Structure 1
Amino acid sequence: MNIKELSLQNFRNLGELQLRPTAGVNVFYGNNAQGKTNLLESLYFCGTGRSMRTKNDSQLIAFGKEDSHIRLQLSTQNRSERIDVHLKRDTKKGIAINGLPIRKLGDLFGTMYTVIFSPEDLSLVKDGPTERRRFLDMEICQISKVYYYDLQQYYRILKQRNHLLKEIQKKPALKEQLFIWDEQLVDYGERIISAREVFLTRLDEIAANKTNELTGGSDSLKIRYQKNCNIGEFQEKLKRNMDRDIYLGNTQSGPHKDDILFTISDKEVKLFGSQGQQRTTALAVKLAEIDLIQEETGESPILLLDDVLSELDEHRQRYLLESIAGLQSFITCTGVEDSIRQYTHEDNLFYVEDGKLMKSEK
């Protein structure tokens, strides 16, 4: 999978931009706040229909402008795809594939696979369960439209159940209606749990191998799925906790409370891992994600590395760059480090300043 051409108009500070990237490594360097990450953000948006930095699409439109356009031409093993994104301040975004508007975001998944790695991805290890569930859901959605549909339905039903719980506080007789929502919540919830189990089992296997290679066998990574409830137990748990849910006005059981636990040598990385081990864990998970997408889809994802090399030591930099050989990659950095000079030439090195790209000599 390769991006052949990218055209941007009024996307953040990137006013008018045309890019024909190479099929391998593409490096964008320059000072901070010049637009390097904005470029990667536009690519991520084409793959997922959302930003990795904001939930407000209007923030992606250049200051003083009313709309923004992204146009991307993509080549896969068997076909050519065109993705068009139109962002407006006062209306919903419009996305079209090969000129045909899509009606729901799930129709975009599977068109372009992306894997992004940035210093913020350390939050996958260090932050709370919300970040880990977001990672989990986004990655499975990319390879399974069924999962995306189940997830949408689950959260729609969860919202309705929570609303009813609050109403029951005022009208206890409404308690009898809970079973209607519980049956649906369990149905979609157990589908989600099953998909997460399969995904995390394979991610654990691949990431363990990556960690072994990264550390020369000194660290043993384990990824454990911390389910809030098991398949077959969800219905009973909802029933058992019904009074507490009513008191709190919120559903306390279900996959929306799941978490992922990362351990090295049986010690939780979040609490006991060194900074180097936390970075190794995040890197191993991202590299495992690439392999998983390739296994499930037969396509190589587009890799986005946002200023991540500066966070890694020389050994991890070299391992990362060697691991992504054969992938189309977009790398941002403030300067061209020695570790990536061997991967650069005049066709894939770009200097970014004030939202403008300039070809740079090696």
Structure 2
Amino acid sequence: MRLHSLQLINFRNYKERTWEFGPDSVVLYGPNGIGKTNILEAVYVATVGRSYRTTETADLIRFGAEEAGIILQFTKKDTPQKITIRLAAKGRKDIRLNGNALSQRELIGTLNTVLFCPEDLQLIKGSPQQRRRFIDMEISQTSATYYHQLSLYNRALQQRNRLLKEYAGQRSVPLLEWDEQLATGAAYLVKKRLESIKKLNLLIDLMNRRLTGGKENLQLRYEQPYSAQGPVTEKDAFLQLLQESLPRDRARFTTSVGPHRDDLGFFAGPVDLKKYGSQGQQRTAVLSLKLSELEFIKSEVGEYPLLLLDDVLSELDKERRANLLQFIHNRVQTFITTTDSEDMTGLSPAMLIACREEVTADD
């Protein structure tokens, strides 16, 4: 997969700007606050239809403008493609692939990317929601069915929680229909997650050994806080657990069973890295995870995704930075933001783009 050009219109701090990219990696360098990350953010929006930095579409539109545009041309499996996205401060997004309208759900999987940003270095120590978001987005990029089932599950979950609040204090709550939907969706989602984690485990251990010189093993484990007997994967088992948890759910007005409560554990042998891993071990594990994500998507779709490195190299020590650059060299088209292009020694050839303050005649 290769990105050829990106055009931004009234996106963040850019009034109108076009970049043409060659096949090599791209280094976007300049001082902080100049708009380097905005370029990567636009590519990510073209991947999933939303930003990784904000939930508000209006935040993406240049101050004083009512709309913003992203036009991105790329090649996937030797086929030229064009994504056009119009963002409106009021109203829905307009997303098009080669001129044909798409929903946000249909967009996902069209352009494959792996994003690595400073927040990801907190993936192990952070909230379970961060780890669920990671596995859900990774699978969704390679399976439209998974993303669709995840959307259906989340809608059913919202309805169940709404009824728990609406019928607070009453003797019975009409939950059977929603429990059926949740149990069906939960069984599919968990099975797909376990299947993907099995593949990831083959890759992540290999990557971690490469980064540590063979010193440490690394394994992901799927964790369900409501099950002590191993992963629950069948509809009937989820139905039973939902019924058993009903008194607790009614008291808390929320659903305590299902994949929305599940988590990922990172283990070096028997050691839980979240509890006992050093900062160096945790960062190496996250880096191994991101490199494994590249290989996972390649194995699923047949080619490497784009790699977006958002101001992350400065957060890695010299050895980890060198290992990362060595891995991606001549393998993956990578877009890197940095304040100092000297950090990119070891990534050659690379296209260097100096980012400067955007100045226009009417500003």
TM bucket normalised to smaller = over 0.9
Q: CA deviation at 1:171?
A: 3.4
- Aligned residue among 151, 170, 180 for 2:177: 180
- Aligned residue among 327, 330, 334 for 1:329: 334
Q: CA deviation at 1:89?
A: 0.5
Q: Quick check: 1:93 aligned with 2:93?
A: yes
Q: Which moved more, 1:13-22 or 1:163-172?
A: 163-172
Matched residue SS, 2:168: helix
Instruction: Give the conservation status (yes or no) of the 8 Å contact 1:117–1:306.
Output: yes
Residue aligning to 2:82: 82
Mark the runs of 5 or more structure 1 residues left unpaired by the alignment.
357-362
Instruction: Give the conservation status (yes or no) of the 8 Å contact 1:71–1:85.
Output: yes
- Aligned residue among 231, 234, 237 for 2:233: 231
Separation of aligned partners in 1, 2:181 and 2:72? 39
- Aligned residue among 335, 340, 346 for 2:345: 340
Q: CA deviation at 1:55?
A: 0.8
Q: Quick check: 1:242 aligned with 2:239?
A: no
Matched residue SS, 1:141: helix
Instruction: Give the conservation status (yes or no) of the 8 Å contact 1:314–1:339.
Output: no
Alignment of 1:92-111 (within 5 A): 92-102=92-102, 104-111=103-110
Q: CA deviation at 1:265?
A: 3.1
Matched residue SS, 2:167: helix
Matched residue SS, 2:345: helix
Amino acid paired to 1:330:
F
Q: CA deviation at 1:78?
A: 3.7
Separation of aligned partners in 2, 1:118 and 1:164? 38
Amino acid paired to 2:180:
E
Alignment of 1:182-261 (within 5 A): 182-228=179-225, 229=227, 230-232=232-234, 233-261=237-265
Separation of aligned partners in 2, 1:308 and 1:168? 48
Alignment of 1:91-170 (within 5 A): 91-102=91-102, 104-170=103-169
Residue aligning to 2:312: 308
Amino acid paired to 1:353:
R
Amino acid paired to 2:112:
Y
Separation of aligned partners in 2, 1:338 and 1:171? 63
Alignment of 1:272-311 (within 5 A): 272-311=276-315
Separation of aligned partners in 1, 2:311 and 2:166? 48
Instruction: Give the conservation status (yes or no) of the 8 Å contact 2:326–2:347.
Output: no
Residue aligning to 2:2: 2
Which runs of at least 4 in structure 1 moved beyond 2 Å after TM superposition? 170-173, 337-342
Separation of aligned partners in 1, 2:344 and 2:354? 18
Q: CA deviation at 1:339?
A: 4.4
The size of the alignment, in residue pairs, is: 351
Matched residue SS, 1:19: strand
Separation of aligned partners in 2, 1:151 and 1:338? 39
Separation of aligned partners in 2, 1:339 and 1:198? 36
Instruction: Give the conservation status (yes or no) of the 8 Å contact 2:24–2:349.
Output: no
Q: CA deviation at 1:91?
A: 0.9
Instruction: Give the conservation status (yes or no) of the 8 Å contact 1:318–1:339.
Output: no
TM-score (norm 2): 0.93
Q: CA deviation at 1:272?
A: 1.6
> Pairwise CA RMSD of aligned residues?
1.4
Separation of aligned partners in 2, 1:76 and 1:249? 46
Q: Quick check: 1:349 aligned with 2:346?
A: no
Mark the runs of 5 or more structure 2 residues left unpaired by the alignment.
none
Q: CA deviation at 1:227?
A: 2.6
Q: CA deviation at 1:172?
A: 2.4
Separation of aligned partners in 1, 2:32 and 2:78? 38
Amino acid paired to 1:167:
E
Separation of aligned partners in 2, 1:354 and 1:200? 43
Q: CA deviation at 1:24?
A: 1.8
Q: CA deviation at 1:342?
A: 4.9
Instruction: Give the conservation status (yes or no) of the 8 Å contact 2:69–2:84.
Output: yes
Amino acid paired to 1:155:
N
Instruction: Give the conservation status (yes or no) of the 8 Å contact 1:28–1:330.
Output: yes
Amino acid paired to 2:273:
V
Instruction: Give the conservation status (yes or no) of the 8 Å contact 1:24–1:326.
Output: no
Separation of aligned partners in 1, 2:209 and 2:99? 46
